[in-house]
Structures are given as structure tokens and as C-alpha cells.
Amino acid sequence: MSSSIAAASSIGVKANALTRVSKRAINSKPAVVCSASSKSDDVAVGSSQDAVTRRQALAAGAAVTATLGASTPALAGLLDGALDGALTLGGGDVKEKRAVNLPELQIEFISREEGYPLANGGEKGRAQQQYLKFIEPVIVANIDLPYSEYMRLALHDAGTYEVVGKKNGANGSIRFELDRPENALCKKAFASIEKIKKAVDATVTQPISYADLIAIVPHFAARIQFAKDYYEVMGEDDPNYEFLFIGTNPYLGAKMRIGRKDADGPDPEGLVPGEDASTEDLVAWFKRMGLGPNQLVMFAPYMYENPAKGLDLAVQDGTNASVANQYESQRKLGKRAPGPAVTIIKKLKDMTDNCIPGGPPYVGGDRDPNYVEYAYIRGGGEIPRVTTFGAYPGSSDLGSSKFAQKVRGDR
């Protein structure tokens, strides 16, 4: 018995000595580190290396304590508590500590009337883009016509625009004008838009306007066709589509805008030329909308059921003919080239972004835009403030503080 006590005392003295050495190594200025020799497995001690950190020294002490406990059964029980403490020197889970120390994140939705004066235009624009990205899969899943059909519908809806006075235009009024002879070819596309709108409205908290759907669906429908044409030539495993066709991406090159308001009745008659239109009629039409030969020649193949009819009418004007030649040189590059696709998307944007009643809204120009919800947020590391979310279920979780989301374990 006395011999085991003596052994324990001896080991205790050695442990205390090791502890004092560890402390001295930490507090002394000369740095002591272990470095592996390239010639042998021996460990060399050098004073010119970085200092041992406190955590490394404590971890080494814990390892010594564990070795002593394993080699001396008499001390195993005494060292259990010390060993448990030594193995949790990391300070526990930082996320758990933050969760305890931070107040709970609270999101209180407020009315649009209360919220919109307190949020800036950039926040509102981001909320609208959240909304657009949320509905994109719904739109794409319900597109069932060639993009030329949607292009024609968009042209006829925006085609009533008058740049002088900034009247009429891309406002969804086409739904009241389908009985007019010039809009007869738009019925099929509008029926598809109706189906897409029902699908979108079933998934969001604020219904999308007809004007917005008519303006943005051609973007997605065109990209479907661009990708199909590209992969037919380059193969399904070609990785370069997005890189080459970035100018057609609605969130990058194309930068689609939403927030157009719906008209509650038809626009005046006689503003959109019909089947018997002349070249002069088409030129005057686009001029009245504030557009020119670039937009006219791009839209010409989509004006009538026979694509050649519109293009033949357009090129009878000399300026239009030179623009058409430029476009044709782009097409000669082949289906794998982005030139024609980028031109189509850019000119579509020129029309749908500018031919809006009252003119194109700038960022923040509409104090209370569509598809934006507001909330008061506080706690979770956030400074109390009014913030914006896209108008669809669950968007408040995506829009809250990233730091608070990490604390809650959402990210």
C-alpha cells in the first residue's frame, strides 16, 4: 500500500513539473516548437520558429495526463475528471454559445403603406428579383408554344404605346383587345399566358400582372429554343452554353424588370397595323413607339404567321435593309453563336422596358412596387430595421440576417 502511494506521489511530482514546464514555455519569450527533420523521424527543437499557442500546450498537457492515467491504475479514477476537462479545451460549440447569448430573431410583417416609405429602391429591386427567381421554374414548366408566338403577343400588347405623352403600351390591355382583327393571331399565346398566370398565382402571395407575364415569358421561351439549337450542334455535354449566351440570361445580361401595372380596360383602336399593313405603316408604327429600325427588323419575322411576310415588308425600307444585312451576317455564324440570340433579347427588352405607360420606371422610382413585402426585423444580431422580402411564402427566412441564420443553423 505504502509503495503504491509513493509511486503515486512520485508521478504527481512529475505531472506538476510538466505543468510548470508548459507554463514556462508559454510565458517565456524564446519560442519553442517541434519541427520534423527531413533526414530522420527525430524531433528537433528550435527557438527561431513560431511560438507554441496556449491551446497546443494545454492539449499536450492533457495527452500527458491521459498517458499517466493509463499506465497507473491507481491514478485512473483520480485523473478521470481532469482528463474530461482537458479534452474540452476548445470552448464548446461557438454556434451554441451565440444562440444562447443573442436575442431571438423576430420578424414582424407590416403593411405596405407602413413599410414602403422606410425601404430604399435597391432593397425593393432585390425583393422583386427574389420573386422573379421563385416563379421562373413555374413559368418554364408551363411554356407550351414556340417563342415566336409569345414575341408577337408582347409586341401587340406594347404596340399601342405612344412615346409622345407616354400613353398606353405594355399594360396587359391586350386581354380586352383580342376581338380586334389585328390581334387574331395572339389568341393562342394569350391562352398560354392565362395558364401560366394561374400556375404562378397559386404559388405566390401577390398575383403577377398580365403585363409582366406577357413581357417576360418571351425571355424564357427564347432561351429554351436557344439552348435546344445550341445543343443540337454542339452536343448535350458541351459546358459552354451559359458562358456564351450570358447576354440572354434574365438575371445577368438581360436584367429583366418586373413591376408593370395592368390596365383595367382596352387601349384605343387603330394603333397596331393589321395584315394589310405597308412598309410605311410599320416604320411609322415603331417611330410612334419611340423605337427604330433595329427593333423593327428584329420583330419583323414574328409579326405574321408567315415569318417571311414581315421581313419582306421591313426590308423595302433602305435603312431597315442595311440592319437586316447585319443581322443576317450574325446568323451565318451558325446556331452555336450567341449573336442573333443576344440581339433578339436586347431588342425585346428595349420594347418591354421602355413602352410602359408613364415611361420606364427607374430603380426606386416607384415608391410602392409590386411583388414586395415589408417586415420589421430585430434580434439575432440584427439592428432593428424595416426590411423587404419577395412576395412568396418563406421568403422572409431567405431575406433575414445571414448571421442570424447561421446562429439558428439555417445555413
Catalytic one of 124, 152, 156, 257: 156
Euclidean distance between CA atoms 18 and 81, whole angstroms: 18
First to last CA, the chain: 58
Of the candidates 138, 134, 199, which has an alpha carbon nearest to the alpha carbon of residue 395?
A: 134
156 is annotated as an active-site residue? yes
Going by C-alpha positions, the residue among 222, 218, 227 that lies closest to residue 353 is 218
Q: How far is CA 331 from CA 130, 157, 297, 321, in A?
A: 34, 28, 14, 15
Note whether 26 and 57 are within 8 A (CB). Answer: yes
- Residues serving a catalytic function are 156
